Amino acid sequence: MKATTHRYIIGDSFKKLQMEDDTVDLVITSPPYPMIEMWDHIWESEESSITKHIANNRGKQAWQAMHEILDQSWSEAFRVLKPGGYACINIGDATRTLDGRFQIYPNHSRIIQGCQDVGFDFLPSIIWRKPTNAPNKYMGSGMLPAGAYVTLEHEHILIMRKGERRVFAKAEKERRSESALFWEERNLWYSDLWTGIRGTQQRLNISALRKRSASYPIDLPYRLMMMYSVAGDMVLDPFGGVGTTSLAALATGRNSISIDVDDKLVSASQKIPTKRDTKDKLNLLLTNRLRDHMAYVNKKDMLFFRYRNQPLGIPVKTMQEKYLNIYMIKSISRADETVAAKYRKIKPTEIKECLSIDITE
């Protein structure tokens, strides 16, 4: 894997995308959340009845109308995905009080329905538990029963697939082997409960625009890309915001297209990859991967690791990890709406720096 490209486009993903059918390997996205007030203007500008529904406290009708707008996006995601391609959708449910009635609007279940209706198969999915210590996280009547509500401290990552499992062509097999996960990454990531994802967001807190775009931490698209695509694939985020998905694509050696309706966010997302320290921050994700693996190796009996990974010369647990490879970002450049990255093999000195055991023995 020598190079990738990343396009940042101003566009409306509630409409037909300017993309051919069956051209994308993976969709990773987080749409505006229906019934979360910060996004009301988005839905209201699409459908005037939504303003009236909210003004007249018709919460369920407003919610349904918002999802009907979003359904078109799932239909487009399905159309542009290649057969066997995945869509990973991060969504939170919304709580809201209208006319004195507090209730939850279960966005995740309505999106599952919307995706199934356009043809997706719904697969085992992930609860992302977001740690919060905020004292105001409890809702309702406090210590007095029975008017308090359980706190909402999780979001969903819904995993959809277009048809049957992807069949890898012969020419793709090397990319697939190089894209293998470490044993312990597999064990942690293919779990239905993700906790403690906050660290990387702090490490990669690149822009103040994150709040405006309600961006997710880079760990989310990073893990999902490693789990549901291989290096060299094309990843689409139709609600790209500040381009977190594309940053993860840069780090993992996938190509990407990021679409957002907000021209300021698109403009910012184009600039972030070529900022002075972005390359180093992304490369840190890669060396940390190796460091975490070696920390795991150190905790175990060496007999546990039956194989030696060839490109990196490190112990691994399974045959499938034998050709796993890590490519560092060599350069990131930008021309208009497109960012290009070049990669290089990780240097033996960099590998050594990541290891706390002597691998030459």
Ligand X SMILES: C[S@@+](CC[C@H](N)C(=O)[O-])C[C@H]1O[C@@H](n2cnc3c(N)ncnc32)[C@H](O)[C@@H]1O
- Least distance from C-beta 205 to ligand X, angstroms? 12
Sign (positive or negative) of CA dihedral 239, 181, 358, 298: positive
Contact between 27 and 88 under an 8 Å Cβ cutoff? The reply is yes
Q: Name which of 17 and 326 has its Cβ closer to ligand X.
A: 17
Question: Cβ 154 to ligand X, closest distance in Å?
Answer: 16
Residue of 124, 122, 107, 177 lying closest to 322 (CA atoms):
177
Taking the least distance from each CB to ligand X, the nearer of 261 and 355 is 261
CB half-sphere exposure, 85, CA atoms < 13 A? 20
CB of 259 to ligand X, least distance (A): 5
Neighbouring C-beta atoms of residue 317, cutoff 10 Å = 18
Q: 91: helix, coil or strand? A: strand
- Nearer to ligand X (CB atom), residue 224 or residue 231: 224
End-to-end CA distance of the chain: 30
CB 134, min distance to ligand X, A = 20
**Smaller CB separation from ligand X, 56 or 274:** 274
**Three-class DSSP category at 200:** helix
- Which parts of this chain interact with ligand X (CB under 6 A)? 12-14, 30-32, 42, 213-216, 239, 241-242, 244, 259-262, 265
Question: Which residue in the shown chain puts its C-beta closest to ligand X?
Answer: 241
Q: What is the 3-state secondary structure (H, E, C) of 145-159?
A: CCCEECCCCEEEEEE
Residue among 185 and 219 whose Cβ is closer to ligand X: 219
CB of 260 to ligand X, least distance (A): 4
